[in-house]
Amino acid sequence: MAEGEKWCVVTGGRGFAARHLVEMLIKYDMFSVRIADLGPTIDLEPAEEDGVLGKALRSGRAQYVSADLRQKDQVLKACQGAEVVFHMAAPNSSINNYQLHRSVNVDGTKNVIDACIELKVKRLIYTSSASVIFDGVHGIVNGDESVPYPEKYNDYYSATKAEGEALVIKSNGVNGLLTCCLRPSGIFGPGDRLLVPSVVTSARAGKSKFIIGDGNNMYDFTYVENVAHAHVCAERALASESKVAEKAAGQAYFITNMEPIKFWEFMSLILGGLGYERPRIKIPAFVMMPIAHVVEWTYKLFGPYGMKVPQLTPSRIRLLSCCRTFNCSKANDQLGYTPILPLQEGIKRTIESFSHLRAELQPKRQGPSKASMYLGSGRVADTLLWKDKKQTFIALLVLVAIYYNFIAPGFTIITALSKLLLATIIFLFIHAILPGKILGFTVEKLSWSHFHLSEEMSQRVAMSVASSWNTAVHILKSLAKGNDWILFIKVAFSLLIVSFIGAVSLQSIFVVGLPIAFLAFYVYEKKEEAIDAMLVETVSRGCKLKSDIVGKFCKSNKIE
């Protein structure tokens, strides 16, 4: 490091928005840039190799350091000699894993703050999220920084981001450290690995035609270059020796393109620009919500056995159907932030950068069928879709044996369970005393690890139980206030469904449910397009009928 040379650190420097900030800092010749990320080495893409980043790495104006934010010694090494730290590292927001998000967004942020204080770093800019004030239920219209953190969050990413943000704000002024937090909303642009790829994946699966909700929910998106520009504005504000720095220090700021747009109009522009079908069929959120709950419960049950994380969850339905717009006046007044690229230009550049994903360049189907994806594309899907016939027949034989030995005789649940446990104990006892070989055949002995519950699994089960309990308590608290009729109707309807299911005998569930489970998904996979067309037609007619009834009802009330 040359004497007098000014260095900055960008944590998570190989992430989507961070890459754009790194290039902007190099172009502006503001600092020599240290890129900190998890990888042992930096692997440049061809465009980066020949661009400003590749040249800066070769000249020494940029350097890469491998650092895990969860290890304080590595963070100290990364921040050594830096004047500014842009803390942008965060796990993938679509992975709803509490331990992962807390270890990086909270514990990792603590390490970054401690390193900045210990090494006398002058400025720390933290990349937060607009989701820190979103509870996952109520929409936000022109929300500003006066809106408090909610009591409950939609996901672990938002919850831990809020914790990290609070820590950064609290650390302002400690040992001369100046801090501020930026809350970008809906980041998109070239290099995006989440929004556009997931939208294209849905389009290829035939889901792009659907609009969840009424389609009028407004959203604030932010082009990635504007996010990078906001970080530069924040750093310059904190660096200014005036009242500007005093105002900016210890503050949080919303960052958007300042051009709210209907969420589904934005999706239409992206999908249409890439040659895919635009969303046109409206499905009310209340219709999708019960299905999403069933999918979520199914994942909780079968997730440990290979079922992948589903896309159709209650939190996602709420996210797609509510308003989320934010006021950037504070960032404009105190940081001097104004978007450098308008929304339409950002959309145009994004579409051009994803030209390799255009519809005409893709085969008709890639990857598993929709039926397989709905089932998680794991062992459950292989069994119910007859992909692994041996596994399917074994599962059927086991279920048939359970039915004839425990269900058909009319046993109660307690009796059935006790007999099942008795049979299991007898089997294990006999299996244990059998010799290693019988008539030349090897008898495989069961390992005790088959019955061992790992610490990770125990924590996951405990967290799931605690989360379910807290959700139930939150619902009861809301009901006790007596002012949320929609919640009351939802809970009452759910309980009626549970009571209906509870009235069905276990025998009926086996007789009717099993054949449906093993045949319905198989048939759907074979006749996917025809069944989808029928469902679309049914939903469209149902929505039209509902609109007609509501229209007539309103008209009759006006006449009266």
User: Hey, which residues are catalytic here?
Assistant: 161
Q: Is 7 helix (H, G, I), strand (E, B) or coil?
A: strand
Measured in degrees and rounded to the nearest 5, phi and psi for residue 37 equal -155, 175
Enumerate the β-bridge partners of residue 429: none
Enumerate the β-bridge partners of residue 218: 262
70: part of which helix (H) or strand (E)?
none
Enumerate the β-bridge partners of residue 125: 86, 180
Residue 133's closest CA among 155, 117, 120, 149?
149
Token pair recorded at residue 368: 């598993």
CA angle 352, 184, 339 (to 5 degrees): 60
Q: Please report, as a single letter, which amino acid is at residue 219.
A: Y
The Cα–Cα gap between 478 and 486 comes to 11
Do residues 187 and 16 lie in contact, with contact meaning Cβ atoms separated by under 8 Å? yes
Show the beta-strand stretches assigned E in 430-507: 437-438, 441-442
Return the CA Rg of the chain. 28
CA dihedral 280, 281, 284, 288 (to 10 degrees): -110
Spatial neighbors of 398 by CB under 8 A, at least 6 apart, are none
Do residues 86 and 48 lie in contact, with contact meaning Cβ atoms separated by under 8 Å? no
Residue 224's closest CA among 73, 85, 88, 46?
88
Q: Please report, as a single letter, which amino acid is at residue 301.
A: L
Enumerate the β-bridge partners of residue 123: 84, 178
CA dihedral 55, 60, 64, 65 (to 10 degrees): 180
Q: Are strands 84-87 and 7-11 parallel, antiparallel or unpaired?
A: parallel
The Cα–Cα gap between 509 and 504 comes to 7
Question: What is the end-to-end Cα distance of the chain in Å, rounded?
Answer: 82
CA angle 390, 520, 359 (to 5 degrees): 95
Give the DSSP per-residue string, 221-238: -EEHHHHHHHHHHHHHHH
The Cα–Cα gap between 207 and 532 comes to 10
Show the beta-strand stretches assigned E in 210-286: 210-212, 218-219, 222-223, 251-255, 261-262, 281-283
Do residues 109 and 126 lie in contact, with contact meaning Cβ atoms separated by under 8 Å? yes
Q: What share of the chain is helix, strand, coil (3-state, %, to 5)?
A: 60, 10, 30
